[in-house]
Amino acid sequence: MATITKEKTAEIIAKFGKNEADSGNARSQIGILTERIKSLTEHCNKNRKDVHSLRGLQMLVSKRKRLLKYYARQDLEGYRSLHKELNLRGSN
């Protein structure tokens, strides 16, 4: 299935978190969700009739959207830098 490995998750947490064990940080969670969304998007493009995975993708996108909205309220400059780092579309 379209999941990410533990090594990739640890790499994302190290990049966006305050330390290697900071998986609860909003930046880390957004980074992990973005990577999962990318891999699941590839899966859904290859398997057009897999509606269950498509629903999962939609739920991940919604969760990331809520986290981004929260992070923008908490730290606007941090949100803008994260938005640019992850190459996300939409509002800045």
CA 5 to chain centre: 14
Enter the tokens of residue 86: 């992850």
The residues spanned by each domain of the chain are 6-85
More confident residue, 54 or 3: 54
pLDDT digit string (tens) for 29-59? 999 999 999 999 999 999 999 999 999 999 9
CATH C-level class of 6-85: mainly alpha
Burial degree of 59 (CB within 10 A; 0-12, 13-18, 19+): exposed
Alpha-carbon distances, residue 72 vs 48, 64, 80 (angstroms): 34, 12, 8
Residue 92 has pLDDT above 80, yes or no: no
pLDDT digit string (tens) for 58-71? 999 999 999 999 99
pTM, two decimals, is 0.91
